Amino acid sequence: MTIEELLRQGPDGARIRSARLADGVATVVADASGLAEAERSAFEQRLKAQASGLSQVREVRVALTAAKRGPKLIAVGSGKGGVGKSTVSTNLAVALARLGHKVGMIDADIYGPSQPTLLGTSERPEARGKQLIPVDAHGIKLLSVGQLVSEGHALAWRGPMASGALTQLVEGDWVDRDLLIVDLPPGTGDVQLSLLQKSRPAGAVIVSTPQDLSLIDATRAVDLFRKLSVPILGLIENMAGYDCPHCGQPSDPFGSGGAETAAAELGIPFLGRLPLSATLREASDAGQPPAGGTGPAADTFRLLAEKLLASLDTAAA
């Protein structure tokens, strides 16, 4: 029986990754993921004691490894601008936090950052060394380029500069978060590619209006995520009609049901629809996400968040 097989029979056997014996020196590699510093030390001492008790072993060398753990990234994208992607991202994040998750928000819409406005914060993040510390807002944590530049100033950045800014946001201090919502810019350009290639989201949500033009562009976003092997968690139809405030009759200025039909054709989950709402617009402009309150909008975003989590679990299975 090899030394690796003998060590695997011990109390910490499941954590043994490899072990070999050469010239009386036992070299043991073990997984210490999730162990606090004191637990790591005790774990190492146990391994040394166990290996030292084996015949022909005169010296024991232990190397402890730990899998890098971090929040699951969920990218929220759209094929075009003007579909309400950022508003949906904000309220999904707040709804997920109200369901008990520790949520972070990255405003990756480098050229049009709107999350500080939507979350009602002007606080600038501090830096610890080269790492940014997210700020608190409505029960979630936020990092946005909008916190780093003066209000109203244009960002005339080329692709590499924008990608570098995104990297700095993603590498912020998210250690205590379990979900990280990334509000992507519209389209399928450099920023999206940088995120997908470097950070590998656990899944993506697509936001579209019911009209054909928006759905055509949303299909391109789906194609990008699929080409880079990112699971599509679902499609959300925004601006899906409204009730006329004067006559009370329903109206569908952007069409009806197009996103649900497109989701079926693309073979992706349809998470639900959001109607046009003056209340949602007013609350968003005021930096008060409706998902953090009560009423129909809060209920709708809670249901969307629950469906998103179910889809995330399915994608991870």
What whole-number percentage of the chain has pLDDT above 90? 32
- Residue 81 labelled as part of a binding site: yes
**118 shares a domain with 172:** yes
Contacts of 266 (CB under 8 A, 6+ apart): 219, 222, 232, 235
On whether 83 is known to bind a ligand per the annotation, the reply is yes
More confident residue, 216 or 304: 304
Q: pLDDT, tens digit, for every residue of 134-156? A: 999 999 999 998 787 666 555 55
Q: Is the pLDDT of residue 249 over 90?
A: no
Q: Looking at the structure, tell me whether residues 283 and 301 fall in a common domain.
A: yes
pLDDT, tens digit, 9 for 90 and up, residues 106-136: 998 877 788 999 999 989 889 888 889 999 9
Distance CA(144)–CA(262), nearest Å, equals 31
Task: Say if residue 77 is in the same domain as residue 59.
Answer: no
| CATH number for position 44 | 3.30.300.130
Residues 53 and 84 in one domain: no
Condensed to tens digits (0 to 9), the pLDDT of residues 257-296 reads: 667 888 888 889 999 988 877 788 888 889 999 999 998 8
Residue 82 marked ligand-binding: yes
Q: Do residues 195 and 306 share a domain?
A: yes
Range of the domain at 30: 3-65
Q: What is the pTM of this model?
A: 0.73
Residue 170: pLDDT band by 50, 70, 90 thresholds?
Answer: confident
Q: Are residues 217 and 126 in the same domain?
A: yes
Q: Where are the beta strands (DSSP E) in 108-259?
A: 126-128, 131-133, 135-137, 140-144, 179-183, 203-208, 232-237, 242-243, 250-251
CATH number at residue 145: 3.40.50.300
Helix extents (H) in 174-295: 190-198, 212-227, 258-266, 278-285
The amino acid at 284 = S
Cβ–Cβ under 8 Å, residues 242 and 279: no
Among the candidates 45, 65, 85, a domain finishes at 65
Helix 212-227 to helix 190-198 angle (10° resolution) is: 40
In this structure, the dihedral spanned by the alpha carbons of residues 262, 266, 272 and 273, taken in order and rounded to 10 degrees, is -30
Residue among 97, 85, 77 nearest 137 (CA): 97
Task: Give the CA distances from residue 275 to residues 14, 51, 271, in Å, rounded to whole numbers and listed in that order.
Answer: 51, 65, 14
Angle at 284 between CA 189 and CA 115, to 5 degrees: 40
Spatial separation of the C-alpha atoms in residues 314 and 284, rounded to whole Å:
31
DSSP state of 23: T
- The answer to which of 8-22, 105-119, 209-223 has the lowest mean pLDDT is 209-223
Q: Are 118 and 166 part of one and the same domain?
A: yes
Q: Is 85 annotated as a binding residue?
A: yes
Residues 36, 76 within the same domain: no
C-alpha span between 288 and 118 (Å, rounded): 7
Q: Does residue 110 contact residue 147 with C-beta atoms inside 8 Å?
A: no
Q: What share of the chain is helix, strand, coil (3-state, %, to 5)?
A: 40, 20, 40
Same domain, 177 and 301: yes
CB atoms within 10 A of CB 94: 28
- H or E segment at 238? none
Q: Are residues 61 and 79 in the same domain?
A: no
pLDDT in tens, 67-94: 556 799 999 988 767 788 899 999 999 9
Residue 44 shares a structural domain with residue 80: no
**Is 41 labelled a binding residue?**
no
Q: Which of 36, 65, 94 is the last residue of a domain?
A: 65
Q: Any binding-site annotation on 164?
A: no
- Residue that has been written with the tokens 């789906």 in this structure: 222
Q: Which of 29, 50, 65 is at the close of a domain?
A: 65
What's the pLDDT at 200?
Answer: 79
Max distance between CA atoms of the chain, in angstroms, equals 90
What is the number of domains present in the chain?
2
Q: How far is CA 259 from the centre of its chain?
A: 23
Same domain, 220 and 157: yes
